[in-house]
A = this chain, B = another copy of it.
Protein backbone atom coordinates (compact mmCIF):
# COMPACT_ATOMS: atom_id res chain seq x y z
CA UNK A 1 0.00 0.00 0.00
CA UNK A 2 1.44 3.38 -0.95
CA UNK A 3 2.34 5.64 1.95
CA UNK A 4 -0.20 8.24 0.83
CA UNK A 5 -3.07 5.79 1.02
CA UNK A 6 -2.49 4.62 4.55
CA UNK A 7 -5.09 5.57 7.11
CA UNK A 8 -4.07 7.87 9.95
CA UNK A 9 -6.00 7.53 13.18
CA UNK A 10 -6.42 9.60 16.31
CA UNK A 11 -8.10 8.97 19.63
CA UNK A 12 -9.59 11.53 21.97
CA UNK A 13 -9.76 11.44 25.76
CA UNK A 14 -12.35 13.81 27.25
CA UNK A 15 -11.29 14.38 30.84
CA UNK A 16 -13.83 15.61 33.32
CA UNK A 17 -16.36 14.72 35.99
CA UNK A 18 -18.64 17.43 34.59
CA UNK A 19 -19.27 15.41 31.43
CA UNK A 20 -19.76 12.13 33.33
CA UNK A 21 -22.28 13.75 35.68
CA UNK A 22 -24.39 14.90 32.75
CA UNK A 23 -24.15 18.52 33.91
CA UNK A 24 -22.15 19.65 30.91
CA UNK A 25 -22.97 18.51 27.38
CA UNK A 26 -19.77 17.66 25.58
CA UNK A 27 -19.05 19.67 22.47
CA UNK A 28 -15.46 18.64 21.92
CA UNK A 29 -16.06 15.15 20.50
CA UNK A 30 -17.82 16.49 17.41
CA UNK A 31 -15.50 19.48 17.15
CA UNK A 32 -12.29 17.45 17.30
CA UNK A 33 -13.74 14.75 15.01
CA UNK A 34 -14.70 17.27 12.32
CA UNK A 35 -11.32 18.97 12.53
CA UNK A 36 -9.48 15.64 12.28
CA UNK A 37 -11.51 14.73 9.19
CA UNK A 38 -10.28 17.85 7.44
CA UNK A 39 -6.68 16.96 8.35
CA UNK A 40 -7.13 13.52 6.72
CA UNK A 41 -7.08 11.79 10.11
CA UNK A 42 -9.80 9.43 11.29
CA UNK A 43 -11.10 9.52 14.86
CA UNK A 44 -10.93 5.88 15.88
CA UNK A 45 -12.25 6.04 19.43
CA UNK A 46 -13.15 8.37 22.27
CA UNK A 47 -13.06 7.83 26.00
CA UNK A 48 -14.60 10.05 28.63
CA UNK A 49 -12.80 9.56 31.93
CA UNK A 50 -13.18 11.13 35.38
CA UNK A 51 -10.70 13.48 37.07
CA UNK A 52 -8.84 10.47 38.45
CA UNK A 53 -5.14 9.93 37.76
CA UNK A 54 -5.32 6.15 37.24
CA UNK A 55 -8.20 6.47 34.76
CA UNK A 56 -6.30 9.05 32.70
CA UNK A 57 -3.05 7.04 32.78
CA UNK A 58 -4.80 3.89 31.59
CA UNK A 59 -6.57 5.66 28.74
CA UNK A 60 -3.43 7.52 27.62
CA UNK A 61 -1.27 4.41 27.54
CA UNK A 62 -3.83 2.24 25.77
CA UNK A 63 -4.82 4.79 23.16
CA UNK A 64 -1.41 6.26 22.32
CA UNK A 65 -0.08 2.77 21.58
CA UNK A 66 -2.63 2.11 18.85
CA UNK A 67 -3.17 5.47 17.18
CA UNK A 68 -1.04 7.90 15.23
CA UNK A 69 -2.22 10.77 17.39
CA UNK A 70 -3.81 11.22 20.79
CA UNK A 71 -5.76 14.29 21.90
CA UNK A 72 -7.10 15.18 25.31
CA UNK A 73 -9.50 17.91 26.33
CA UNK A 74 -9.99 19.25 29.84
CA UNK A 75 -8.12 19.42 33.11
CA UNK A 76 -5.32 21.84 32.20
CA UNK A 77 -6.56 24.83 34.21
CA UNK A 78 -5.34 26.37 37.47
CA UNK A 79 -7.47 24.57 40.06
CA UNK A 80 -6.99 21.48 42.21
CA UNK A 81 -9.17 19.34 39.92
CA UNK A 82 -6.89 20.02 36.92
CA UNK A 83 -4.67 16.94 36.94
CA UNK A 84 -4.19 16.20 33.24
CA UNK A 85 -0.55 17.34 33.01
CA UNK A 86 0.53 15.26 36.00
CA UNK A 87 -1.42 12.20 34.87
CA UNK A 88 -0.07 12.34 31.31
CA UNK A 89 3.50 12.84 32.59
CA UNK A 90 3.01 9.78 34.79
CA UNK A 91 1.74 7.78 31.82
CA UNK A 92 4.77 8.86 29.78
CA UNK A 93 7.22 8.24 32.61
CA UNK A 94 8.59 11.78 32.55
CA UNK A 95 8.71 14.54 35.13
CA UNK A 96 6.73 17.78 35.19
CA UNK A 97 8.55 21.07 34.68
CA UNK A 98 7.60 24.74 34.35
CA UNK A 99 7.98 25.62 30.66
CA UNK A 100 9.85 28.95 30.43
CA UNK A 101 7.87 30.14 27.39
CA UNK A 102 4.56 29.26 29.04
CA UNK A 103 5.64 31.16 32.14
CA UNK A 104 6.50 34.18 30.00
CA UNK A 105 3.15 34.00 28.19
CA UNK A 106 1.27 33.85 31.49
CA UNK A 107 3.33 36.69 33.00
CA UNK A 108 2.36 38.84 30.03
CA UNK A 109 -1.28 37.80 30.09
CA UNK A 110 -1.73 38.37 33.84
CA UNK A 111 0.35 41.56 33.99
CA UNK A 112 -2.82 43.65 33.84
CA UNK A 113 -4.98 40.99 35.49
CA UNK A 114 -3.60 40.79 39.02
CA UNK A 115 -0.23 39.16 38.36
CA UNK A 116 1.01 35.60 38.19
CA UNK A 117 0.06 33.75 41.38
CA UNK A 118 0.81 30.15 42.29
CA UNK A 119 -2.44 28.80 40.83
CA UNK A 120 -1.86 30.56 37.52
CA UNK A 121 1.72 29.29 37.39
CA UNK A 122 0.26 25.75 37.45
CA UNK A 123 -0.80 26.41 33.86
CA UNK A 124 2.88 26.70 32.82
CA UNK A 125 3.60 23.14 34.00
CA UNK A 126 4.18 20.60 31.24
CA UNK A 127 5.50 17.05 30.89
CA UNK A 128 9.29 17.42 30.53
CA UNK A 129 10.11 17.70 26.83
CA UNK A 130 6.78 19.16 25.71
CA UNK A 131 6.23 22.12 23.40
CA UNK A 132 3.36 24.60 23.55
CA UNK A 133 0.15 25.00 21.55
CA UNK A 134 -0.91 28.67 21.30
CA UNK A 135 -4.08 29.82 23.06
CA UNK A 136 -5.25 33.05 21.53
CA UNK A 137 -8.03 33.59 24.09
CA UNK A 138 -6.75 33.21 27.63
CA UNK A 139 -2.99 32.89 27.51
CA UNK A 140 -2.64 29.47 29.13
CA UNK A 141 -1.25 27.31 26.32
CA UNK A 142 -2.06 23.79 25.23
CA UNK A 143 0.69 21.24 25.31
CA UNK A 144 2.19 18.95 22.68
CA UNK A 145 4.39 16.01 23.61
CA UNK A 146 5.33 14.05 20.49
CA UNK A 147 2.03 12.94 19.01
CA UNK A 148 0.02 13.70 22.15
CA UNK A 149 -1.92 16.96 22.32
CA UNK A 150 -3.34 18.31 25.58
CA UNK A 151 -6.05 20.90 24.96
CA UNK A 152 -8.45 22.97 27.01
CA UNK A 153 -11.92 21.75 27.97
CA UNK A 154 -13.79 24.98 27.19
CA UNK A 155 -14.90 24.42 23.58
CA UNK A 156 -14.09 27.94 22.35
CA UNK A 157 -10.51 27.66 23.61
CA UNK A 158 -10.19 24.14 22.23
CA UNK A 159 -11.27 25.51 18.84
CA UNK A 160 -8.49 28.10 18.92
CA UNK A 161 -5.91 25.43 19.75
CA UNK A 162 -7.14 23.19 16.91
CA UNK A 163 -6.94 26.16 14.60
CA UNK A 164 -3.32 26.70 15.64
CA UNK A 165 -2.57 23.06 14.78
CA UNK A 166 -4.36 23.09 11.40
CA UNK A 167 -2.20 21.81 8.58
CA UNK A 168 0.68 20.82 10.87
CA UNK A 169 -0.12 17.10 11.24
CA UNK A 170 0.58 14.43 8.67
CA UNK A 171 -2.64 12.83 7.46
CA UNK A 172 -3.78 10.59 4.64
CA UNK A 173 -6.44 11.02 2.02
CA UNK A 174 -9.37 12.93 3.40
CA UNK A 175 -12.37 10.71 4.00
CA UNK A 176 -15.05 12.11 1.69
CA UNK A 177 -18.62 12.03 2.81
CA UNK A 178 -21.94 12.72 1.10
CA UNK A 179 -25.45 12.46 2.48
CA UNK A 180 -28.64 11.41 0.71
CA UNK A 181 -31.93 11.85 2.56
CA UNK A 182 -35.19 10.05 1.89
CA UNK A 183 -38.67 9.87 3.41
CA UNK A 184 -38.51 6.15 3.94
CA UNK A 185 -38.29 3.72 6.82
CA UNK A 186 -34.75 2.39 6.81
CA UNK A 187 -36.16 -1.11 7.25
CA UNK A 188 -37.71 -0.84 3.76
CA UNK A 189 -34.37 -0.22 2.11
CA UNK A 190 -32.01 -2.38 4.19
CA UNK A 191 -31.34 -4.72 1.24
CA UNK A 192 -30.71 -1.84 -1.14
CA UNK A 193 -28.23 -0.28 1.30
CA UNK A 194 -26.34 -3.51 1.89
CA UNK A 195 -26.13 -4.39 -1.80
CA UNK A 196 -25.15 -0.90 -2.86
CA UNK A 197 -22.36 -0.86 -0.28
CA UNK A 198 -21.16 -4.29 -1.39
CA UNK A 199 -21.02 -3.15 -5.05
CA UNK A 200 -18.77 -0.19 -4.21
CA UNK A 201 -15.77 -1.61 -2.42
CA UNK A 202 -14.30 1.67 -1.16
CA UNK A 203 -17.60 2.93 0.27
CA UNK A 204 -19.30 2.63 3.63
CA UNK A 205 -22.96 3.50 3.97
CA UNK A 206 -24.35 4.55 7.33
CA UNK A 207 -28.10 4.75 7.87
CA UNK A 208 -29.47 7.32 10.34
CA UNK A 209 -33.23 7.25 10.85
CA UNK A 210 -35.36 10.05 12.26
CA UNK A 211 -39.00 11.01 12.80
CA UNK A 212 -40.44 14.40 11.93
CA UNK A 213 -44.03 15.56 11.83
CA UNK A 214 -45.17 11.97 12.25
CA UNK A 215 -43.17 10.76 9.23
CA UNK A 216 -40.26 8.35 9.08
CA UNK A 217 -37.15 9.39 7.24
CA UNK A 218 -33.51 8.48 7.08
CA UNK A 219 -30.25 10.02 6.02
CA UNK A 220 -27.77 7.75 4.29
CA UNK A 221 -24.19 8.86 4.69
CA UNK A 222 -21.75 7.45 2.15
CA UNK A 223 -18.05 7.67 3.00
CA UNK A 224 -15.03 6.88 0.86
CA UNK A 225 -11.53 8.13 0.10
CA UNK A 226 -12.24 7.54 -3.61
CA UNK A 227 -14.24 10.42 -5.13
CA UNK A 228 -15.23 8.49 -8.27
CA UNK A 229 -16.44 5.42 -6.44
CA UNK A 230 -18.28 7.66 -3.99
CA UNK A 231 -20.12 9.41 -6.83
CA UNK A 232 -20.99 6.07 -8.47
CA UNK A 233 -22.27 4.70 -5.17
CA UNK A 234 -24.49 7.75 -4.65
CA UNK A 235 -25.91 7.43 -8.18
CA UNK A 236 -26.66 3.75 -7.60
CA UNK A 237 -28.37 4.50 -4.30
CA UNK A 238 -30.49 7.31 -5.73
CA UNK A 239 -31.48 5.07 -8.70
CA UNK A 240 -32.40 2.26 -6.31
CA UNK A 241 -34.59 4.60 -4.26
CA UNK A 242 -36.24 5.92 -7.45
CA UNK A 243 -37.08 2.37 -8.49
CA UNK A 244 -39.00 2.09 -5.22
CA UNK A 245 -40.78 5.39 -5.98
CA UNK A 246 -38.88 7.11 -3.20
CA UNK A 247 -37.51 10.50 -4.22
CA UNK A 248 -34.19 11.27 -2.59
CA UNK A 249 -32.72 14.52 -1.33
CA UNK A 250 -29.03 15.04 -2.08
CA UNK A 251 -27.39 16.68 0.92
CA UNK A 252 -29.79 14.96 3.27
CA UNK A 253 -32.89 15.95 5.19
CA UNK A 254 -32.45 17.95 8.37
CA UNK A 255 -34.00 15.88 11.16
CA UNK A 256 -35.10 18.97 13.08
CA UNK A 257 -35.29 18.70 16.82
CA UNK A 258 -33.88 15.19 17.04
Chain B residue numbers with a CB within 8 Å of A258 are 154-156
Contact flags (1/0) for A26-50 with B, using CB distance below 8 Å?
1101111111110000111111111
Partner pick for A21 among B37, B138, B186, CB 8 A cutoff: B37
Give A154 to B210 CA distance when docked, in angstroms: 7
Measured CB to CB, the closest approach of chain B to A151, in angstroms, equals 15
State whether A45 touches B25 (Cβ < 8 A): no
State whether A194 touches B155 (Cβ < 8 A): no
State whether B37 touches A45 (Cβ < 8 A): no
State whether A22 touches B30 (Cβ < 8 A): yes
Give A43 to B93 CA distance when docked, in angstroms: 29
Contact flags (1/0) for A7-21 with B, using CB distance below 8 Å?
000000010111111
Q: What band does the interface of chain A fall in when counting residues whose beta carbon is under 8 Å from B? A: 35 or more
State whether A207 touches B22 (Cβ < 8 A): no
Could you say how many copies of this chain the assembly holds?
2
Chain B residue numbers with a CB within 8 Å of A175 are 21
A168 lies within 8 A of chain B by Cβ:
no
State whether A187 touches B117 (Cβ < 8 A): yes
Contact flags (1/0) for A178-216 with B, using CB distance below 8 Å?
000000011110110110010000001111111100000
Chain B residue numbers with a CB within 8 Å of A29 are 19, 22, 25-26, 48
State whether B221 touches A18 (Cβ < 8 A): yes
A223 lies within 8 A of chain B by Cβ:
yes
Partner pick for A154 among B34, B114, B209, CB 8 A cutoff: B209
A240 lies within 8 A of chain B by Cβ:
no
Binds B, one of A73-81, A126-134, A141-149, A230-238: A73-81
A contacts, CB < 8 Å to B: 14, 16-27, 29-37, 42-51, 55, 77-81, 113-114, 117-120, 122-123, 137-138, 154-156, 175, 177, 185-188, 190-191, 193-194, 197, 204-211, 221, 223, 258
